[in-house]
Amino acid sequence: MWDLAQCDRRRCTGRRLARKGLVRTLRLGQRFGGLVLSPLAARWVSPADRQVVAQNGVAVIDCSWAKLDETPFNKMRGSHPRQLPYLVAANPVNYGRPYKLSCVEAFAATFCIAGFSDIATTLLKKFKWGMVFLDLNRDLLEKYAACSCEEEVLSVEREFLATTPEEDEIDPFDVDSGKDFCNLNRPARGMITVDEDSTESSSSSSSEEQE
């Protein structure tokens, strides 16, 4: 992981994974031999990347979605740059927003698509809201993982987007919107929940992330 120190240290999922010894930090200018998840990549993650992931791993760029113009992508290079197909964020900062995944969500999505769902689950379980990411994206992740190549992944994405009506982004705090909003990270009113044991705070992503 390349850490640009652009997000809240307390909420950064990438840093939390690094503290737990699950991710190592790369220096700017240091190349990476595995998959590099970057918004500038011209290719997409697919099951065809399984061998590269197995041999060399995955790297993310831990930066803020709000500061992409300030991010030195030319100093974070690798042999296999990739983007992720359409998925929805579950992290508390960008909940429900497509593409704006946190570091742990990006790692997990890549491992799921490449056929390493057990690793994805291990990483996501480090966060109280982590498994919600799988709940929100289970159908798409299974379809992406069943593909054989990048072209098939993109075909699945196009088919999904073509059958999904576009909706204006909703502000969950806009009481005049006339629409109900439910964040699966929080219990519905009137429900009593038992807090599970966790080593992390209730807030905690390669973006303006909460972790």
Closest listed residue to residue 196, CA positions, set 136, 133, 150, 130:
130
Exposed / middle / buried, residue 51 (Cβ in 10 Å: 0-12, 13-18, 19+): exposed
pTM, 2 dp: 0.74
pLDDT the model gives residue 164: 81
- Tens digit of each residue's pLDDT (9 = 90 or more) over 63-101: 666 566 667 677 777 889 999 999 999 999 889 999 989
State yes or no: pLDDT of 210 exceeds 70. Answer: no
State yes or no: pLDDT of 126 exceeds 80. Answer: yes
pLDDT the model gives residue 202: 31
- Residues 192 and 186 sit within 8 Å (Cβ to Cβ): no
State yes or no: pLDDT of 192 exceeds 50. Answer: no
Which value, to the nearest 10 degrees, does the dihedral of the CA atoms of residues 181, 184, 187, 189 take?
20
Name the pLDDT band for 194 (thresholds 50, 70, 90).
Answer: very low
Least confident of 92-106, 121-135, 154-168: 154-168
Does 67 or 132 have the greater pLDDT score?
132
- Tens digit of each residue's pLDDT (9 = 90 or more) over 159-168: 999 998 765 4
Mean pLDDT of the region 40-66: 88
Share of the chain above pLDDT 90, in %: 45
Residue 45 to residue 189: CA distance in whole angstroms = 39
Please give the distance of CA 166 from its chain centroid, rounded to a whole number: 21
Name the pLDDT band for 9 (thresholds 50, 70, 90).
Answer: low
How far, CA to CA in Å, does 120 sit from each of 15, 26, 38, 168, 173?
A: 17, 21, 19, 31, 31
pLDDT the model gives residue 172: 46
- Residues 77 and 26 sit within 8 Å (Cβ to Cβ): no
State yes or no: pLDDT of 23 exceeds 70. Answer: yes
Residue 37 to residue 139: CA distance in whole angstroms = 22
